[in-house]
Amino acid sequence: MNRKKATYQHWVSESLPLSLTQQIERLRNLNDVKHVRIMPDAHLAHDVCIGSVLASDSLIYPRAIGGDIGCGMLAAEFTCAADAIGTREAKAILTLLRHRVPIIKQPKENICSEAFQQIECSLSHRALSALADKAGRIQLGTLGRGNHFLELQKDACSGALWVMIHTGSRAMGPAIRDHYETLSSNTSGGLHYLQATSPIGQHYLQDHNWARSYAAMNRRVILQQIENIIFQVLGVKPVNALGIDCDHNHLQQETHDNEVLWVHRKGASAVHKNCLAIIPGSMGTPSFHVIGKGNQQSLCSSSHGAGRCMSRHEAKKRVSFHRLQNEMEGIFYEKKQSRQLVEESPSAYKDISKVMKAQKKLVTIKRKLLPILSYKG
């Protein structure tokens, strides 16, 4: 097993806190990990920091992908100006979203069985299949809590209306991670690992790919619902049914500088040359559509968002609901949820303009989008 310390580069513009530096050092010393890259939105998380990229020769570290396997972003443009949404339209849209895009689970009459059957590949273990048939089925088309969101946005240049959706594999991703950590007896630096070519490693890859497909389907089901809502309220349809879709919690076998590597991304987008990706800001700040530059130094990766500068606990203590309301001035959202949304306030996140500046060698900005309506759990 390769015990040589992994190479390391980061694109964080501010000084790294000691706790994050220590976590990164632990990642660099993991068995078989050859490269560690840290994106400008990096922040501390349990075991493996958000905004990290690990590349190994033959070992898979489920924690370096995270529980929300396949979590990502979907964006689509509509055939109208964003200014078509005023107070009356926003109120109608938010009301319809509460009914058609639930946060936790679908009511029985809205379960998306047909879409569920279209998910590519199958799960490898009976227990996971049983969970998918229960929790996976009733959560398809739901947003989830935390930093997941649906946002209506204005193209800063053209004024066009866009939607951006951020969600993932809901209960299934964590269940798959936990299932394989239970099966693995091998650890390095406190993290369980699997041999990619072993039967258990191959089963993990199969179930990981299922979770990515599920997460992508989840975003498409939600997109269909917001398309129906926008048509009902504004009478317009999307410009392109495909939109932009990318995920930021995944494992892929890639070639970098003639090395075939298992690239783990946890809160990091793949930005291969000319690849489109989405980098959201915080609730209430601009987001960006970008084109990858294929930078090999970053293993063709970029940030997946702005990144937290306060933990949720810290934000609840430091950000008042009055401060949140001031930061969200001019943006439609559920004001009755202000006290619950303080942990997601813009001030709890890094300055997205500084994050984008820090990764100008990784991506080219194609489009800047301004928030006009935010729907969160």
For residues 53 and 252, what is the distance between their CA atoms, to the nearest angstrom?
11
Residue 181 CA: distances (Å) to CA of 21, 129, 204:
25, 17, 10
pTM: 0.96
Place of tokens 């498409």: 220
Decide if pLDDT at 1 tops 60.
no
Is 304 known to be catalytic?
yes
Average of pLDDT values for 321-349? 92
- Helices and strands, counts by H and E, the chain: 11, 18
Give Rg (Cα) of the chain.
20
Q: Please give the share of the chain, as a percent, with pLDDT higher than 90.
A: 91
**Strands across the sheet containing 259-266:** 7-10, 33-43, 50-56, 259-266, 249-256
For the chain, domains (ranges, CATH) are 7-309+349-376 (3.90.1860.10)
Please write the tens of the pLDDT for every residue from 77-130: 999 999 999 999 999 999 999 999 999 999 888 888 889 999 978 899 999 999
- DSSP class of 134: I
Q: Please list, residue by residue across 283-314, b when 16 or more beta carbons sit within 10 angstroms of its beta carbon and e when fewer do.
A: bbbbbbbbbbbebeebbbbbbbbbbbbbeeee
Instruction: Look up residue 283 and give its two tokens.
Output: 């609730």
Query: Can you tell me the distance from the alpha carbon of 306 to that of 145, in angstroms, rounded to the nearest whole number?
Result: 18
Position 2 confidence tier, pLDDT thresholds 50, 70, 90: low
CA angle 298, 302, 306 (to 5 degrees): 140
Over residues 316-322, mean pLDDT: 92
For range 331-351, the mean pLDDT: 92
pLDDT attached to residue 37: 98
Separation of alpha carbons 211 and 124, rounded Å? 12
The pLDDT score that the predictor gives to residue 86 is 98
Range 165-193 average pLDDT: 97
* Average of per-residue pLDDT across 23-48: 96
The catalytic position among 35, 166, 289, 304 is 304
Convert the pLDDT of each residue in 242-268 to its tens digit.
789 999 999 999 999 999 999 999 999
Distance CA 299, CA 252 (A): 11
